[in-house]
Amino acid sequence: MQTLQQLSLPSMGCGTWAWGNQLLWGYNESMDDQLQAVFNLCVSNAVTLFDTGDSYGTGRLNGRSELLLGRFNREYVGSGKENICIATKLAAYPWRWTRQSMVKACKSSAQRLGRNVDLVQMHWSTANYAPWQEGGLLDGLGDLYEQGLVKGVGLSNYGPKRLKQVQKKFAERGVPITTLQVQYSLLSTYPVTQLKLKDLCDELGIKLIAYSPLALGLLTGKYSKQGPLPKGIRGLLFRQILPGMRSLLACIQEVAQSRNKTMSQVAINWCICKGTIPIPGAKSVEQARENIGALGWQLDGNEIAELDRAAMNADKKMVQNIFQTK
């Protein structure tokens, strides 16, 4: 089995990008060229891991995220192309319950991408609502690795109990788990501080991927209780959380000013300093350039401790993913 680095997943000090819900919020076809520019900028700056999912862009935009990512990959001609690593997550749809359904799903993803998937991940566990379904899906993930259709397999939203069970199941087949993806940020420390997933991943040789490292934008400093908020459910969530995170935002801002960095860069760098691979989303060249500014430097021990305390003392935390298992 190739190592994480041999899969072209960046080592610590490098960044990664997520191509998921962020890519499709407010998406229209006129954005294609802008998104290609984002992709080009990322790869040319050694940001070479792109994470998506086969459920991103369903309905009218069926498979759009993978289709776009495949196109951007084909049309990129600059340096670093050989290091591009594409990861996708296969959804545990209720009509998927056999091992063959997962193999078929991954082949469909590969067809949309125009190339084999490097890292295939179970998008979520069904243990919280349909535990009987998960066995076949996990068998299918193992089949993909054994058949050489992917270079590595990973999981998403798994807690320590389920992770140990799946790791044992895979180990019996000689299938290593490369990554575990969880919601992790200064506003969502639960997977690491309470579930102790980082410790377990280190023990098992699994790399922890931090999705939503900017907490849907709450950690960027862009939003305030008085200012305009996103529409819909996201705006309602922000109204509930923002009043209880003022001290955390103030701490991030103070560190950012002392470092001559932005709040987003501090929040992303904190995730890197915690030994995770953060995958922030970017829809514009400006956002991508700002996120790239989180690389190439590190917060010191005192700054990390200050941010840790502010995160622990925040009155409100980010809502956990309903699929996150124990």
pLDDT digits (tens, 9 = 90+) for 129-152: 999 999 999 999 999 999 999 999
The pLDDT > 70 percentage for the chain reads 89
What pLDDT does residue 52 have? Answer: 93
| Residue tagged 């999705």 (tokens) | 211
Every domain of the chain and the residues it spans: 17-217+274-298
10: its two tokens: 């960046």
The pLDDT of residue 226 is above 90: no
What pLDDT does residue 58 have? Answer: 65
Domain spanning 17-217+274-298, CATH class: alpha beta
Cα separation, 111 vs 176, whole angstroms: 25
The strands making up 177-183's β-sheet, listed across from edge to edge, are 17-18, 49-53, 85-90, 119-122, 152-156, 177-183, 207-211, 277-279
Question: For the residues 25-45, what does the mean pLDDT come to?
Answer: 79
Active site residues: 56
Cα separation, 159 vs 325, whole angstroms: 5
Coil, strand or helix: which one is 84?
A: coil
